[in-house]
Amino acid sequence: MVNSFEIQLQAGAAPFDFPVNFRKYLVLAGVTVFAVAGDSMLSHGMKQVGAVSIHHLQSVIFAVVNPWVAMGILLLLVFFATYTNALSWADLTYVMPATALGYVLLALVARFVLHEHIGPMRWIGIVLITSGVGFVAGGPALTEHPPTRSHTEADEPADGVQVMRTAPKAPLLAKNARNGAPGGAEV
């Protein structure tokens, strides 16, 4: 236990600034905005293209000639770049809720730009998503696995994974020891 704690502490003290800094929030914002913009354009375009028959599945390929669909795909490629970037320094379960914030953004645009009516259920949905995102954003961005910090697959030690499984509390302790404060010091 003491041993694994030391390993975690070393790994945690490595060259990473775990408090998510401004550049990283910018990437997460990109994930949100480009996902929403891409999805909306795609959805709009597919309505123009019309139903694709199950007997002509290949015709879905030709949907890309629709400018809305093409633009949507382009934006989704940008989304993919930001998403990939985010996943290189944060957990999947940390990045995921950021994409959900896009739905909130979409609803707010509908309300305040397009002046559409938003019913009580949808407002509740907005509150739920926002609080869910708040929950995750307050926590650590990355589970500190010692082996995944290395840059080549070859030198991933199998016992490093074991450390994680046998002492799940160790990363948190190591983190708190470094920050000098219990929990979410990076909020």
Partner 1 sequence: MRHVYTWSAILVIVFASVVGDVLLSHAMKQVGDVGDLRRRVGLASMIARMLSNPNFLLAVASMAAAFFSLLFALSWGDVSLVAPAAASLTFIANAVAAKIFLHERVDRRRWIAASLVAAGVALLAG
Pseudo-torsion of CA 78, 72, 39, 137, nearest 10°? 10
91: left (phi over 0), alpha (psi -120 to 50) or beta: beta
Read off the tokens for 136: 């995750």
> Is residue 67 involved in binding partner 1 (CB under 8 A)?
no
Least Å distance, CB 123 to partner 1, is 9
C-beta closer to partner 1: residue 115 or 151: 151
Instruction: Please report, as residue ranges, which positions from 100 to 119 form the binding site for partner 1 (by CB under 8 A).
Output: 100, 103-104, 107
Least Å distance, CB 180 to partner 1, is 21
Instruction: Please report, as residue ranges, which positions from 121 to 180 form the binding site for partner 1 (by CB under 8 A).
Output: 121-122, 124-133, 135-136, 138-139, 143, 145, 148, 151, 153, 161, 164-165, 168, 171
> Is residue 97 involved in binding partner 1 (CB under 8 A)?
yes
Instruction: Please report, as residue ranges, which positions from 44 to 63 form the binding site for partner 1 (by CB under 8 A).
Output: 46, 49-54, 57, 60, 63
Is 69 within 8 Å of 63 (Cβ atoms)? yes
Is 149 within 8 Å of 16 (Cβ atoms)? yes
Pseudo-torsion of CA 32, 34, 38, 39, nearest 10°? 0
Closest by Cα among 131, 133, 114, 134 to 123: 131
Read off the tokens for 162: 């074991």
Which residue ranges make up the site for partner 1 (CB under 8 A)? Answer: 15-16, 23, 42-43, 46, 49-54, 57, 60, 63, 76, 80, 83-85, 87-89, 91-97, 100, 103-104, 107, 121-122, 124-133, 135-136, 138-139, 143, 145, 148, 151, 153, 161, 164-165, 168, 171
